[in-house]
A and B are shown apart, each in its own frame.
Chain A
Amino acid sequence: MAEQATSEVQHTEQMSFVRKYIFSVDHKVIGKQYLFLSLFMALVAGTMAYYVRWQLAWPETAVPGAGWIPEPTAFSGIIPPEFYNALVTMHGTIMVFFVGMPLLLGAFGNYLLPLMVGARDMAFPRLNMMSFWTIFTASLCMIASFFVEGGSAAAGWTGYAPLSADPIYTGVTWGLNLWIIGLALEFTSFLMGGINFLTTTVTMRAPGMTMLRLPLMVWMQITAAVLFMLSVGPLVAGAILLLLDRTVGTGFFLPGKGGDPLLWQHLFWFFGHPEVYVVLLPGIGAVMEILPVFSRKPIFGYRTIIWSTMVAGVLSFLVWAHHMYVSGMDPNLVMPFSITTILISVPFAVIIFAFMATLWGGSIEFKTPMLYAIGTVTTFIIGGVTGIFNGSPPVDIFIHDTYFVVSHFHFTLFPSVFLGGFAALYFWFPKMFGKMMNETLGKIHFWWTMICFNLVFIPMFVLGMGGHMRRIYNPMQYDFLKPMQGINQFITYSAILLLLGQIPFIVNFFWSMFGGKKAGDNPWNANTLEWATTTPVPHENFDTIPTVYHGPYDYSLPNQNEDWQPQHLEKEPAAVA
C-alpha cells in the first residue's frame, strides 16, 4: 500500500502544468486559486471604495487616479452620479460575494476542511474544480458589466425593485443583467462548494474523528454551508423573476403591472440575513482555531459554541424583516421581527464570552495571527452591539438608511472578512506556502489596519446619528449636512490610509512566499490534523490517514510532557519525575 501511495505521487509529478495548477482537482490548489481571486477582487472593490469616498469628501472634483476612465463613465476624473451609483453597488456586491465568500469559504474552507477532517481530498474533487471555474466566470461577468453600454448595475448591492426591475429607472441595461447572471453563477459555485463541504465532513472523516472531535473551524464552515444552501433557493427564484422582469416584460416586482416591489425585499433579505452569517462564521471559526493555540489553553465551551452557532443559524432565518421596518410592510410584523433580532444577539454574546474565557489566564503570545484574532473579536463586538440599535424599531426608524447602518455592517463584515481573513492567512500561510510570514511587517499591517479602520467607521456612526443618508451622491446639496462635511473629509483621509496600510501586507505576502523563512511542519505547535502532515502538504494530504484519539484543543493538560497534544497521537502517560 505504501507503493501505491508513492506511485500516486510520481504520477502527479508527471501531470502537466495545466492539470496541476490551472484545472486542478486538488483541494489545496483550488483553495489557493480562491485565495488569489478574492485578494484580487478585494483590490478592485477597494479601489471603488476610494472613488466613492473621494466623491463624498470633495464632491464633483477630479479624483486623483481616475483620469484614465473614459467618458461618459467619468469626465477627466470627475465621477458623475450614474457612475457613483455603479461604484457603490459594485463595491458592496464584490466585497460580499466575491471577496468575503471566496476568501473565507472558498480559500480556507477548501484548503483546510479535508485536511482537518483527515481526508485525502473533497468528496467530489471535480465538482470542486467546477465550483472555482464557475465563480471565476462569475467574476468576469461582474467586471465585464463595467464595459457594456449603460455601465454596470447601479441599484445598490441589494438590488431593490422597482429600481432594478426596469431599465428606465437607472439607464442600466445589460450591466444589471450581467449582475444577475454573475450572482446566479456565484450562487451555483457555492452550492457546489457547500455540497462538497457537507458531504466530505459527513462521509470522509478519518478513523476516530467523531463529530465532536472536529475542529470548530470545520463546524463553522459546514454551518455556513448549510445556512447558505437553505437560504439561497428563494433568492435564485427571485433573481430569475427579476431577470424576466427586465428582459421579457413580466411584472413580478413592478407595481404598475400588478407586481409587488416588497416581494423582492423579502426574497433578498430572507437570503441576506443568513448570508451575513455565512461570511461571519468562517471568520470567527478561524479565531476559534487561533485563540487556543496562542493562549495555550483549550477553547472554553466547545459544545456551547456549537450549540450557540446552531441556535443563531436557526434564528437567522427568522429575522430578515428587520431590514424592512420602514419599507411599508405590514406594521404588525415589526414587533415579532424585532424580538427575534434581539434574541439572535444572545448566542453571539455567548460565543464572545467563550472567547474571553479562553483567553483568561492563558499564556498569551501576541503573534500576528493572534493579534488579528483578538482584533476580530473586539471589532465585532461593536458591530454586534450596534446591531441591537438597528433592531429596535423606534431607533431604526431614525437611523435606517443612514451612515449608522453603513458603519454597523462594516463593523461586522470587516472583522469577519478582513480581520478574520488576515488572521487565518497569517496563521495558515506556513502550511499553505511552506514559509513563515514576516512578523514585523505583520504587526505594522495589523496596527495600521486596526487604527485606520476605526478612524474610518467610528465617525460614520456620528454622521449617521446626524442624519446623513447613505447612498447620496453629494452631501453638499443638503444644508443640514454641510456642517458635517469635515467629518466626511476626515473619513476619506482615513480610508486612503487604510488602503495604503495594505501595502505592508502585499509586500509581506509575496516576499515571504518566495524568500521567507522556511516553516516546519507545525510552527505553532498546534493540535489539529492539518499540522500533522508534512509541509509542503503531499498530494492526497497524508502518507497514511491518521487516526484521531481526542479532541482538537488539548493544550496545557495536567500530567503531560508537552503543552500540546496532536489529535493523531495518543496522550502520553504522565512523566514520572
Chain B
Amino acid sequence: MSDIAAVPQPLQKNGKGMFAGQRQELVINSSLFGLLIFIGTEIMFFAGLISVFMIIRAGTDTWPPAGQPLLPVGITTINTIFLLVSGFTMYLARKAIGHNNTKALTRWLGLTALLGAIFLAVQGSEWVRLISFGLTISSSTYGGTFYTLIGCHGLHVLGAMIALLRVLYKSVRGTTYSSSNRTGVEMCSAYWFFVVAIWPILFVLVYLN
C-alpha cells in the first residue's frame, strides 16, 4: 500500500460534530458509510426472519392451516408494483440532485413519498381485512410469521418514510441540497432502496408460498 502524502493537518470541524481534513481525500462520506454498515446488519436481521419463516414453513404440512384465510395475492401484487416504482422515482431524485436540479429533486421525492404512503395504506387496509377474517398474530404460526415478517418490513418502510419526509421538507425549502451537498439525499435513498429491494423477496416467500 502506498503512503498518503505526509502533511500535518490543522484542526477542522465541519460543523456537525465530525472532523474532516485529516486525510487527503475521504473515500466515502462517514455518514453514508455508517448507514451502509447499518443496512448490512438490517439485511442480517431480515435473513434471520426469513430463515425462521422457511424453517417453520418446512415443518408444517397444511399451509395455510385449516380455517385460515388465503393472503390477498392480487392486490398485493399491484402494491408491489407501487413500491418498485417508488424505488425508480427515488433513483430519479438522486439523479436530479446529481445534476443540481433541486426542482426535479423535490418533484421525485414527493412522488416517492406518495407511492410509499399508498403502499403503507394498502398494506394497512389489507391487514384490517385479514384480521376480520380471523387471521391474527396468535391464531397460528401462519399468522405469526405473516404479521412479523410483513410487519417488520412495514415498520421499516414507515421509518424510511419519516426520513424521506424530512429530506423532502428540506428540499422544498429549497436551499439545503445541491450537487456538492447531497449526503442527506444519498442516505435517504440508500435506505429507501434497501426497503424496496427486500420486499420482493418477502412477497415471493410469504404470499406466493
Contact = CB atoms under 8 A, between A and B. Distances in A.
A5 interface: yes
A165 to B, nearest CB: 12
Interface stretch (B44-52, B78-86, B92-100, B195-203): B44-52
B135 to A, nearest CB: 13
Contacts of A234: 44-45, 47-48, 51
A247 to B, nearest CB: 10
Contact of A204 (B2, B10, B22, B44): B22
Interface stretch (B33-41, B111-119, B122-130, B185-193): B33-41
Interface stretch (A132-140, A248-256, A447-455): A248-256
Given A5-B11, A195-B37, A237 B140 contact: no
A204 B30 contact: yes
B37 A258 contact: no
Given A202-B33, A234-B48, A250 B137 contact: yes
Contacts of A248: 137-138
A540 interface: yes
Interface stretch (B55-63, B69-77, B165-173, B174-182): B55-63
Contact of B19 (A121, A208, A229, A258): A121
Given A124-B34, A207-B5, A230 B45 contact: no
Contacts of B52: 237-238, 241, 252, 263, 267
Given A237-B52, A252-B141, A124 B38 contact: no
B67 interface: no
Interface string A85-108: 000000000000000000000000
A230 B38 CA distance: 10
Contact of A1 (B11, B38, B137, B140): B11
Contacts of A259: 56, 141
A433 interface: no
Nearest to B3: A208
Contacts of B51: 234, 266-267
B66 interface: no
A210 B4 contact: yes
A203 B26 contact: yes
B34 A199 contact: yes
Contacts of A4: 10-11
A126 B17 CA distance: 8
Contact of A230 (B10, B18, B44, B141): B44
A191 B29 CA distance: 19
Contacts of B31: 124
A250 B22 contact: no
Contact of B3 (A124, A210, A233, A257): A210
Interface stretch (A334-342, A350-358, A544-552): A544-552
Contact of B18 (A124, A237, A267, A545): A124
Given A119-B22, A204-B30, A236-B48, A258 B6 contact: no
B172 to A, nearest CB: 26
A258 B62 CA distance: 11
A557 to B, nearest CB: 19
A205 B19 CA distance: 11
A244 interface: yes
B7 interface: yes
A198 interface: yes
Q: Which of B17, B22, B47, B148 has the most CB of A within 10 A?
A: B22
B117 to A, nearest CB: 25
Interface in A180-206: 191, 194-196, 198-199, 202-206
A237 B152 CA distance: 10
B208 interface: no
A138 to B, nearest CB: 17
B35 to A, nearest CB: 8
Nearest to B65: A258
A322 interface: no
Contacts of A208: 3-4, 6
B37 A207 contact: no
B10 A118 contact: no
Size class of the contact patch on chain B: 35 or more
Nearest to A270: B48
B17 A199 contact: no
A25 interface: yes
Nearest to A245: B144
Interface string A223-240: 000000111111111101
A211 interface: yes
Interface string B6-25: 11111100000111001110
Interface string A539-564: 01000111111000000000000000
A244 B51 CA distance: 17
Nearest to A5: B11
Given A120-B11, A229-B40, A252 B144 contact: yes
Q: Which of A208, A238, A250 has the most CB of B within 10 A?
A: A250
Interface in A382-416: none
Interface string A262-281: 01001100100000000000
A207 B138 contact: no
B43 interface: yes
A244 B55 CA distance: 18
A549 B24 CA distance: 16
A206 B19 CA distance: 12
Given A206-B22, A207-B6, A252 B48 contact: no
Given A199-B34, A252-B141, A123 B8 contact: no
Contact of A207 (B8, B11, B33): B8
B37 A194 contact: yes
Given A121-B19, A237-B48, A191 B8 contact: no
A271 to B, nearest CB: 9
A401 B113 CA distance: 54
Given A195-B38, A257-B141, A258-B140, A241 B1 contact: no
A260 interface: yes
Given A241-B148, A251-B138, A263-B52, 17 more contacts: A8-B11, A120-B19, A124-B17, A203-B26, A203-B29, A205-B23, A206-B23, A212-B1, A230-B40, A231-B44, A236-B45, A238-B52, A248-B137, A250-B141, A267-B48, A267-B51, A546-B8
14 contacts: A120-B11, A126-B17, A196-B34, A204-B22, A210-B3, A229-B40, A241-B144, A241-B148, A244-B148, A251-B141, A257-B140, A263-B52, A267-B48, A545-B9
Interface of A: 1, 4-5, 8, 25, 118-121, 123-127, 191, 194-196, 198-199, 202-208, 210-212, 229-238, 240-241, 244, 248-252, 257-260, 263, 266-267, 270, 540, 544-549
- Give the 9 A-B CB pairs with smallest separation, nearest first: A234-B48, A233-B44, A1-B10, A237-B48, A233-B45, A249-B138, A250-B144, A547-B6, A258-B141
